[in-house]
Amino acid sequence: MFESAKGLIGRVLAGSILSLGLAVLPAFAADPLPSWNDGESKSAIVDFVTAVSTEGGPDFVAPADRIATFDNDGTLWAEQPMYVQLAFVLDRIKVLAPEHPDWQGTEPFKSALAGDMAGVAASGEAGLLQLLAATHSGMTSVEFTQIVSDWVAKAKHPETGKLYTAMIYQPMLELIRYLKANDFDVFIVSGGGIEFMRPWTEQVYGIPPQNVVGSTIETTFEMRDGGPVLLRGEHVSFIDDGPGKPVGIQTHIGKHPIAAFGNSDGDLQMLQWVTSGPGKRFGGIVHHDDEKREYAYDRKSHFGKLDKALDLAPSQGWQVFSIKQDWKSVHPQ
């Protein structure tokens, strides 16, 4: 839907240029981030983008090297009251339960079916991996893509009743578009499953599958009667979180990005990596401090814990985006 809107804006803009001359351009360029309040965060973003894209300027970066990476959960869309992918897991367990009568008496499935999150948590990492294996493996990549697409098209946030894809952050969407308009190549680098994100990121954020980096499950090629398939196994082959993020960036992109945006300690190493090195660089942290319009959490949160990165932000020159102060609106209207 956003792509269509973008296309529409493009056509209207082109029409305006043709009918009104170029007068419309400065007005459009003057506010590329309409959902951001004027202030330090917005200025820092605009100053950075202007500096690296001003040809002949001291901080100019060639378009091919303008790479920006974004975390997803808590940075581009809501991660409370739980990660969206965990909500997907719990929904899938319910859908699959009739085929697995034994789950009624076996943990962690019993707790998951009862919606008892404390019980699920008590099963620890081993329990979570069991839930993940039961819902994310044993099918082909094509089948999994369909399952995710069907779910994301109708699953709703438990508190707002909106589609999860409507729980994205409008200011961050504008930031992605602003960067792309200035020839940045924009990537998602998320701890979430790569094939859980790819079915919808292009439509929702304008970020195509090849620009999505995430955690992966071991996948094997198999020739079947109906043709070749890629089969999703149970073994998690790469965790794209914490120190895994710079590794995921190196493997998938092979270039050193110049801007990174995150919201938790899971993004700490990505911020360290991206903002190191010569030339102008940008590190941005979304700080969830708005209990009225969204959520307020940081150092003690189960999901999206932000502690060390928040401490390091001032000395590292990372810009902390306050949702309360910096964002005019939170979600698309």
| Secondary structure (DSSP) of 35-61 | TBPSSHHHHHHHHHHHHHHSTTSTT--
Residue for token pair 């979600």? 331
H or E stretch covering 230: strand 227-238
Whether the CB-CB separation of 38 and 230 falls below 8 Å is answered with no
Give me the helix-helix angle, 141-152 and 194-205, nearest 10°: 50
Shortest distance, position 65 Cβ to its own copies, whole Å: 10
**Which pair of structure tokens corresponds to residue 74?**
């808590």
**Which pair of structure tokens corresponds to residue 288?**
């969830």
Binding site for its own copies (CB under 8 A): 64, 141, 185, 194-195, 198, 208-210, 212, 216, 219-221, 223, 227-228, 230, 243-244, 246-247, 250-255, 269, 272-273, 276-277
By 3-state DSSP, what share of the chain in percent is helix, strand and coil, each rounded to 5?
A: 50, 20, 30
Shortest distance, position 148 Cβ to its own copies, whole Å: 12
- Residue with smaller CB distance to its own copies, 150 or 222: 222
Whether the CB-CB separation of 205 and 118 falls below 8 Å is answered with no
**Which pair of structure tokens corresponds to residue 152?**
């994301």
- Residue with smaller CB distance to its own copies, 68 or 93: 68
- Residue with smaller CB distance to its own copies, 21 or 227: 227
Contacts of 45 (CB under 8 A, 6+ apart): 33, 36, 175, 178, 282, 284, 319
Shortest distance, position 114 Cβ to its own copies, whole Å: 35
Residue for token pair 């091919």? 64
- Residue with smaller CB distance to its own copies, 252 or 287: 252
DSSP 8-state symbol, 155: -
- Residue with smaller CB distance to its own copies, 92 or 245: 245
Whether the CB-CB separation of 31 and 169 falls below 8 Å is answered with no
Shortest distance, position 210 Cβ to its own copies, whole Å: 5
- Residue with smaller CB distance to its own copies, 54 or 250: 250
Q: Which among 232, 209, 205, 249 has a CA at the least distance from the CA of 72?
A: 205
Shortest distance, position 195 Cβ to its own copies, whole Å: 8
Shortest distance, position 4 Cβ to its own copies, whole Å: 15
Shortest distance, position 141 Cβ to its own copies, whole Å: 6
The Cα 126–Cα 189 span in angstroms is 25
**Which pair of structure tokens corresponds to residue 181?**
């308009």
- Residue with smaller CB distance to its own copies, 33 or 152: 152
Shortest distance, position 249 Cβ to its own copies, whole Å: 9
- Residue with smaller CB distance to its own copies, 111 or 272: 272
